[in-house]
Structure 1
């Protein structure tokens, strides 16, 4: 009986290790992701997103930096599909944070996976494993005129 329990524990530990063993970094197009129907239907048009060094009007007020770290189930999805889905989740979190603070934009958005900054106006960073995909973003919530 002890051997069966030990074998079951070893098998469970192996499954967990496989889930996190792969850690592939992807750098993908923000514009391509934001053209999908899911993005168009889910994001509030009243909240604007400015990535990397994109220019934006001078803010009327600033509400501070926000960080979001989202994960999603990547099982039975292509890496691109999983990354786009989790990017949407991260942007919704930033959007909700902006609205709650009275902001109407998130500026200076950077990828922030494992606290490593990747800043781009056109691309975001996503990591995929065997069963999980993740995107971390940080940006400043502001009120634009």
Structure 2
């Protein structure tokens, strides 16, 4: 092959690679419903969250509420590379819970109640499960709750 043809072949190969790299990729987004109990048992979540702020999911019964301080949400992601979907989801869940806890402390709240999954602003309420979206590279959990003071 002469040098001109070789240069042309290399140029076409690079152009094809550049076009393929910019083409929209089919992103994986697998919706998973996972048990809250397992997530709270993983990654030392119970100890890391402690008991300074209480958490109530869905319609779980709470002590008498004296004041609702705010409603807020968080969306946390983690790298899913090299992790099982469950492990990545549990990491993202713990990150979301730690954000809710930090916000509760900022507000002086005793608890976060009515916690629901809120992925892409679509609420899913459960007392036993949370929603997680697992992708090829990233995994995400979005939670929303009310910050309250008890009587």
TM-score (norm 2): 0.85
Residue 13 (structure 2) pairs with residue 13 (structure 1):
no
Deviation at 1:43, TM superposition (A): 0.7
Q: RMSD of aligned C-alpha atoms?
A: 1.9
**Structure 2: any 5+ residue segments left out of the alignment?**
1-9
Which among 138, 142, 149 is matched to residue 132 of structure 1?
138
Distance 1:137 1:13 in 2: 33
Give the C-alpha shift of residue 17 in structure 1: 2.4
CA distance in 2, matches of 1:24, 1:139: 24
Q: Name which one, 1 or 2, has greater alpha-carbon Rg.
A: 2
**Alpha carbons 1:44, 1:95 under 8 Å: kept:** no
How many angstroms does 1:119 deviate by?
0.4
Q: Residues 104, 10 of structure 1: CA spacing in aligned structure 2 closer, same or farther, 3 A cutoff?
A: farther
Contact 2:32 2:131 in 1 (8 A): yes
Structure 1 residue runs of 4+, over 4 Å off?
1-8
Structure 1: which 5+ runs fail to align? none
TM superposition shift of 1:8: 5.3
TM-score (norm 1): 0.88
Aligned counterparts of 1:61 and 1:3: Cα–Cα separation in 2: 67
- Match of 1:85, SS state, is helix
Instruction: Give the superposition deviation at 1:91.
Output: 0.5
Q: How many residue pairs were aligned?
A: 142
